[in-house]
DNA sequence: GATGCCAATTAGACACAGTCCAATCCATCC
DNA sequence: GGATGGATTGGACTGTGTCTAATTGGCATC
């Protein structure tokens, strides 16, 4: 999937490819995340989407972000107890979290080797692995 | 530090060793976590502490858990957007999180090798690394 | 034992992220 | 142009966690 061009037309195709009906609001929300390639909280998405004219409701932003997560268009990043971040990068990668600024940075998982993890209990499957390095100014 | 015996007397000593004035409430809260060696949310701690006679207030539970984290007596585990878990195990270890049941299990960090992590930006220091494997019944 | 001090605790108000719900809107199909 | 059904909306609601002002309680000093 090529996300280099984030025109609203392209994004509509991306949504369709993930089985999502591309409405105006959904395209705006996808655009907020993809055009920035940043980690945004739901509130930040709401604020960005509403800088343009039409008011989009809070409920729609939350509904849509959850829908995108379910359809694997974006990923939740849980690093801060006070809010969830949403990540338009769904390829395998990890995160550096600056606990002072709240800024998240990506680490490509291809560069990292992790060995010695235990076997999962039988009947269990991995849904995902998060690696979070918490940093501050030293 | 030997946490094998979790009498309230021993816990008072543990608190003092971490520079914490051991009050009744604080000892009960420490006891709730250490005697179970489990990952508990603040609400679970509150419920356990109040099973015994004296009512301990919600504010005290939150204050105390935050104090314990600050004094490195316990660790926060952030895996669920809706609540923080507190972990009496402060040695280096990672977590398996069952997204269906909400149950957390430890992985000893000594068994795991992680290589290829990038250098931190200059002037930054690591405060901690979290590894969370999210699992479900497959 | 009485007194004063200060930290710890308390109840309750508050803040905020996120969810729920019933009413409305709107794109599509006939 | 209706009818249909999914999407959106505002507003009420929930649950976690924080704040604050008032009270309590342990401890030292007299």
H or E segment to which residue B135 belongs? strand B124-137
Provide the pLDDT for residue B53: 74
Which letter does DSSP use for residue A117 in this model? P
Strand partners, A115: B113
What would the pLDDT profile of B66-105 be if each residue is shown by its tens digit? 999 999 999 999 999 999 999 999 999 999 999 988 899 9
Please give the Cα distance from A136 to B124 (Å, whole number): 6
- For residue A118, which residues of chain B lie inside 8 Å, CB to CB? 107, 111
Q: Does A114 touch chain B (CB under 8 A)?
A: yes
What is the maximal distance between C-alpha atoms in chain B? 53
- The distance (Å) linking the CA of B58 with the C1' of D19 is 13
Q: For D11, which residue's CA is nearest its C1'?
A: A59
Q: What are the φ/ψ torsions at residue B48 (nearest 5 degrees)? A: -65, -45
Provide the pLDDT for residue B81: 95
Please give the Cα distance from A85 to A68 (Å, whole number): 13
- Check whether A2 has a pLDDT greater than 80: no
Q: Residue B34's closest CA among B9, B4, B67?
A: B4
| Residues B123, A111: C-beta atoms closer than 8 Å | no
Residue B106 CA neighbour count, 13 Å, CB half: 17
Strand D and A60 CB separated by under 7 Å: yes
Is the CB of residue A33 less than 8 Å from the CB of residue A86?
yes
- The distance (Å) linking the CA of A82 with the C1' of D16 is 9
Of A126, A129, A133, the CB nearest to B129: A133
pLDDT, average across residues B117-133: 94
- pTM to 2 decimals? 0.93
């Amino acid at each position: 999937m090529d996300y280099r061009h984030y025109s609203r037309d392209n994004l509509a195709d991306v949504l369709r490819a993930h089985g999502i009906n591309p409405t105006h609001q959904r395209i705006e929300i996808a655009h907020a995340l993809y055009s920035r390639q940043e980690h945004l909280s739901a509130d930040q998405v709401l604020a960005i989407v509403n800088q343009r004219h039409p008011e989009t409701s809070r409920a729609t932003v939350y509904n849509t972000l959850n829908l995108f997560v379910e359809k694997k268009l974006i990923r939740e990043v849980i690093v801060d107890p006070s809010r969830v971040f949403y990540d338009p990068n769904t390829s395998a990668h990890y995160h550096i979290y600056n606990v002072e600024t709240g800024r998240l940075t990506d680490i490509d998982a291809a560069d990292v080797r992790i060995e010695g993890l235990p076997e999962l209990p039988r009947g269990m499957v991995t849904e995902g692995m998060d690696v979070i390095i918490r940093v501050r100014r030293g």
